[in-house]
């Protein structure tokens, strides 16, 4: 675990941001950039703990949702791609953080070659649509941002790098937004993973997780401060989201994948909370007889028979059988289960998206948005049609619906050129 607070880096970032203050404000005739920021695993009730003064201020000056529902499975890659495509994971094809496809091989988030390979990303995210419409875009580590999709890439993209902290990422974004119109991106996406890391290592209620929330909130405060000083804050539409929440997992709450299904009968394609099982040739009946149905701490279905509210199971990348762990339980190989330190608490997500612990945040501020609006909960597929509206893009068919977000839009209807 890295130090959540590196004072030297902060001071350097603050000085660098202060140096940006002489930049002229964006003339009002210029298009308003859209900045999308994801704070991975910022569970919506983290906003009620007194750790987020800067997010609170943005919400007061703009809009926040009671909460946002993640899509199934409540994991990082599927939901980040859903946020920027408006498609459920079953429809955009990033069906899990760990996947297999015949002919393509295996996908894992830690495999940067696979993460940057456009063949895994079969839908066009909003930055690709924007580039095709002649806009410049910039993407900092957002899943999919490093891939060429439909032969197109963002004008600028920075690959995921855990060694670069939130303050330095924010500095890059501020610099981009303060460029002259000739090079300034119209759409920027930024990804921040620090809250997710701490939540996994220590659990959602740990002081370390709260410290990570405060660190990220302070970095967002630096962004707002820099935009305020350069009088650009009111000429940017900010949308801040998370991908899912986080649930506490006690160290003993582990089911071993070998107990779910013997390895000689099936390949276990994904582990964790949403477990994908692919029976070996001739073993389907044996495996189904063993795993389908309810068990202590998990339940398994054939892919075509999953609960309809999860909108999941038709994609060829979803393995034949899916087992869903109960909240607070993980499925791990025995070797990894043995490494769990007894008596400790960790955190996991990937549980039923309808659980309160999986709820994500949505905050928006800028000229397109009303001030002081509180929206009822909506699904994260609905963020995409909001973004295409703000960018005046043609909106390809998707699973989202802008209707729940319309009360958030200023009278101009979000048409902020």
Task: Name beta bridge partners: 330.
Answer: 254
Question: Apex CA 64: angle with CA 54 and CA 223, to 5°?
Answer: 30
Q: Are strands 298-302 and 321-325 parallel, antiparallel or unpaired?
A: antiparallel
**Of positions 90, 131, 243, 352, contacts Zn ion by CB under 5 A:** 243
Q: Under the criterion CB under 6 A, does residue 197 sit at the interface with ligand AMP?
A: yes
How many other CB atoms are there within 10 angstroms of residue 84's CB atom? 27
Q: Which does 14 bind (CB under 5 to 8 A by kind): ligand AMP, Zn ion, none?
A: none
Q: Under the criterion CB under 5 A, does residue 330 sit at the interface with Zn ion?
A: no
C-alpha distances in angstroms, 361 versus 69, 269, 298, 338, 389? 9, 30, 27, 34, 20
Closer to ligand AMP by CB, 276 or 385: give it. 276
C-alpha–C-alpha distance, residues 245 and 74, integer Å: 8
Q: Under the criterion CB under 5 A, does residue 52 sit at the interface with Zn ion?
A: no
Contact 407, 382 (CB under 8 A): no
Cα R_g (the chain), whole angstroms:
21
Q: Under the criterion CB under 6 A, does residue 215 sit at the interface with ligand AMP?
A: no
Q: Under the criterion CB under 6 A, does residue 47 sit at the interface with ligand AMP?
A: no
Q: Which does 141 bind (CB under 5 to 8 A by kind): ligand AMP, Zn ion, none?
A: ligand AMP
Q: Please, what is the minimum distance in Å from the beta carbon of residue 217 to ligand AMP?
A: 18
Q: Which does 360 bind (CB under 5 to 8 A by kind): ligand AMP, Zn ion, none?
A: none
C-alpha distances in angstroms, 236 versus 111, 170, 389? 34, 15, 15
Residues 6+ apart with CB under 8 A from 381: 71, 82, 86, 87, 88, 398, 399, 400, 401
Q: Please, what is the minimum distance in Å from the beta carbon of residue 146 to ligand AMP?
A: 6
Q: Please, what is the minimum distance in Å from the beta carbon of residue 110 to ligand AMP?
A: 7
Q: Which does 399 bind (CB under 5 to 8 A by kind): ligand AMP, Zn ion, none?
A: none
Choose the stretch contacting Zn ion; rule: CB under 5 A; options: 46-54, 192-200, 207-215, 330-338: 192-200
Residues 71-130 that bind ligand AMP (CB under 6 A): 75-76, 97, 109, 115
Contact 100, 107 (CB under 8 A): yes
Contact 126, 393 (CB under 8 A): yes
Q: Under the criterion CB under 6 A, does residue 143 sit at the interface with ligand AMP?
A: yes
Q: Which does 197 bind (CB under 5 to 8 A by kind): Zn ion, ligand AMP, none?
A: ligand AMP
Residues at the contact surface with ligand AMP, assessed by CB under 6 A: 40, 75-76, 97, 109, 115, 141, 143, 160, 191, 193, 196-197
């Amino acid at each position: 675990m890295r130090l959540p607070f590196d004072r030297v880096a902060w001071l350097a970032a603050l000085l660098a941001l202060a140096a940006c203050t002489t930049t002229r404000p964006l003339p009002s005739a210029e298009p308003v950039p859209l900045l999308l920021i994801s704070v991975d695993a910022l569970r919506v009730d983290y906003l009620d703990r007194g750790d987020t003064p800067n997010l609170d201020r943005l919400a007061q000056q703009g809009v926040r949702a009671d909460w946002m529902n993640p899509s199934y499975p409540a994991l990082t890659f599927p939901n980040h791609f859903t946020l920027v495509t408006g498609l459920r994971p079953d429809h955009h094809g990033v069906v899990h953080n760990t996947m297999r496809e015949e002919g393509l091989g295996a996908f894992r988030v830690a495999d940067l070659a696979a993460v940057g390979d456009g063949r895994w990303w079969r839908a066009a995210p909003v930055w690709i649509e924007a580039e095709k419409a002649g806009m410049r875009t910039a993407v900092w580590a957002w899943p999919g941002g490093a891939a060429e999709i439909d032969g197109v890439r963002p004008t600028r993209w920075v690959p995921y790098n855990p060694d670069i902290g939130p303050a330095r990422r924010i500095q890059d974004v501020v610099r981009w937004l303060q460029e002259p119109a000739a090079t300034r991106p119209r759409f920027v996406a930024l990804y921040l993973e620090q809250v997710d890391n701490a939540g996994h290592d220590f659990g959602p209620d740990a002081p370390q997780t709260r410290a990570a929330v405060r660190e990220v909130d302070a970095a967002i405060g630096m962004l707002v401060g820099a935009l305020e000083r350069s009088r650009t804050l009111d000429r940017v539409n900010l949308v801040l989201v998370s991908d899912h929440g986080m649930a506490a997992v006690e160290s003993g709450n582990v089911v071993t994948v070998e107990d779910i299904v013997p390895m000689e009968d099936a390949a276990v394609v994904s582990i964790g909370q949403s477990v994908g099982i692919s029976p070996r040739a001739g073993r389907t009946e044996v495996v189904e007889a063993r795993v389908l149905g309810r068990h202590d701490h998990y339940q398994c279905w054939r892919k075509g028979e999953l609960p309809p509210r999860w909108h999941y199971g038709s994609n060829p990348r979803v393995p034949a059988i899916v087992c869903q762990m109960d909240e607070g339980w993980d499925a791990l190989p025995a070797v990894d289960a043995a490494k769990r330190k007894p008596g400790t608490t960790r955190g996991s997500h990937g549980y039923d998206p309808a659980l309160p612990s999986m709820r994500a945040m949505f905050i928006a501020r800028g000229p397109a948005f009303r001030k002081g609006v509180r929206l009822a909960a909506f699904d994260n597929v609905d963020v995409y049609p909001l973004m295409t509206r703000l960018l005046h893009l043609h909106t390809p068919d998707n699973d989202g619906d802008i209707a729940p977000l319309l009360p958030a839009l200023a009278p101009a209807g979000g048409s902020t050129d």
